[in-house]
Amino acid sequence: MLKRIAFPIIVILIAISLAVPVMAESGKQRAFLPAGAVDAVGLIGHPPERGSPEFETQMEIVLWLQQTRTPDQVTFVEQPLNLARFAPLISTSLLGVDGQLLNETLDGVIDEVRMDYDAVKAVFDEPRPFQVDSRVKPVGDARPVASYPSGHAIRATVYGTLLADMFPEHSAEITQLARQVGYGRVVAGVHYPLDVSAGQKLGAAYASEIINQPAYREAVEAIFEK
């Protein structure tokens, strides 16, 4: 019985991992997250000023986590963030849905979310910890782009909230993984703790707007019509 269940789950996971992301055109009207739906800058506020006591505390946390991080933590933070990251938690439930449409819908959502938060990052344009202090040795996805707020924390929160909405029987595990992905960015040395908490706050606001959009509700209905 387990073998009969495992085979289709593996097929679904492979299909998800190979699916080509659907990228929204910048001039196209957003279907899931209307422009200006969330006052992102007003919601998360400004990060601490570099050189301030609060900033120095943030850097000390980054350095301490770097000193104490384990090989397992490094492996965790090096994993890509997409639907496949959450799929093992909902694998049996995926058998009853349109997996391709689920992946395409989440790709579309995340693309619109990314468009919004990229503009927010540009407002603050804060450098990453490893750009500020050479003692920080980052691992995983360590691109020298704006640090505040954390895009990974935003996307993980959106993924987690939407998947928990679709698969409430797995909500606890999904939410826990989403939070761990965000915290892992500090362990990796690519974000400050406040980058992550701001990202989680913003991601929750985005997800709340998305869930109430007709396009999202229609997509979810179609996903479960299989």
Within-domain flag for 167: yes
Within-domain flag for 133: yes
Cβ partners under 8 Å of residue 211, min gap 6: 161, 162, 165, 217
The token pair at 105 is: 């819908």
- The string of pLDDT tens digits covering residues 144-160 is 899 999 999 999 999 99
Within-domain flag for 65: yes
Task: Report the mean per-residue pLDDT for the chain.
Answer: 89
The DSSP code for 89 is G
Top-confidence residue, 3 or 175: 175
Looking at residue 154, which CATH number applies to its domain?
Answer: 1.20.144.10
Residue ranges making up the domain that contains 216 = 2-19+52-223
Cβ neighbours, 10 Å, residue 138 = 20
Does 86 score more than 60 pLDDT?
yes
Question: Given pLDDT bands bounded at 50, 70 and 90, which one contains residue 11?
Answer: very low
Total domain count, the chain: 1
pTM, two decimals, is 0.87
Q: How far apart, in Å, are the Cα atoms of 177 and each of 131, 142, 206, 225? A: 28, 20, 18, 27
- The string of pLDDT tens digits covering residues 29-81 is 788 999 999 999 999 999 999 999 999 999 999 999 999 999 999 999 999 99
Within-domain flag for 136: yes
Cβ neighbours, 10 Å, residue 81 = 20
Cβ partners under 8 Å of residue 141, min gap 6: 78, 152, 188, 190
87: nearest Cα among 64, 106, 63, 114: 106
The token pair at 148 is: 């505040």
**Whole-number pLDDT of residue 148:** 98
- The string of pLDDT tens digits covering residues 87-113 is 999 988 888 899 999 999 999 999 999
The amino acid that residue 126 corresponds to is E
CB-facing half-sphere around the CA of 75: CA atoms within 13 A:
3
Within-domain flag for 40: no
